[in-house]
Amino acid sequence: MPRTLFVKRYMGDNRADERVSCRLSGRITFNGVFITDCVIKDMSVSGFRAFIESDTWLPNEFEVDCKHFDSPIRARVRWRSKELLGAEYVF
C-alpha cells in the first residue's frame, strides 16, 4: 500500500473501510490488453477511486497495475461518473 498521506472520511460516507489518499499513476487492462491510463486518487483495503478519461470504455471487471503493486490487481466497477470510477478488488 502506498505511503499514507491522510485519511478522508465524509459525513454520510457509509463505506466499510477508510480510504487512504494517494496519487498513483496506473494502467487499466482487460485480458492483458491495455485500455487506458488512470490516476488512483485513493485506496482502501477493499477498493479504490480513480480518475480516467471521460469517454473511455471499461468492462465491468478489469485489471489495474501500478509500479507500487507487486502484480496487477483484478477489480470490478462499483460506480462511475464522468471522469471518476470506484472499484472493488476481486479475489
pLDDT band at 19 (very low <50, low <70, confident <90, very high): confident
Taking domain 18-89, whether its CATH number is 2.40.10.220 is answered by yes
**How high is the pLDDT of residue 55?**
85
Q: What is the pLDDT of residues 33-90, one digit of tens each?
A: 999 999 999 999 999 999 999 888 999 999 999 998 999 999 999 999 989 999 999 9
Nearest partner of 69 among 35, 28, 26, judged by Cα: 26
pTM recorded for the entire structure: 0.78
Q: How far apart are CA 20 and CA 41, in angstroms?
A: 9
- Residue ranges covered by each domain of the chain: 18-89
Q: Which residues pair with residue 77 across a beta bridge?
A: 87
Please compute Rg for the chain using Cα positions. Answer: 13
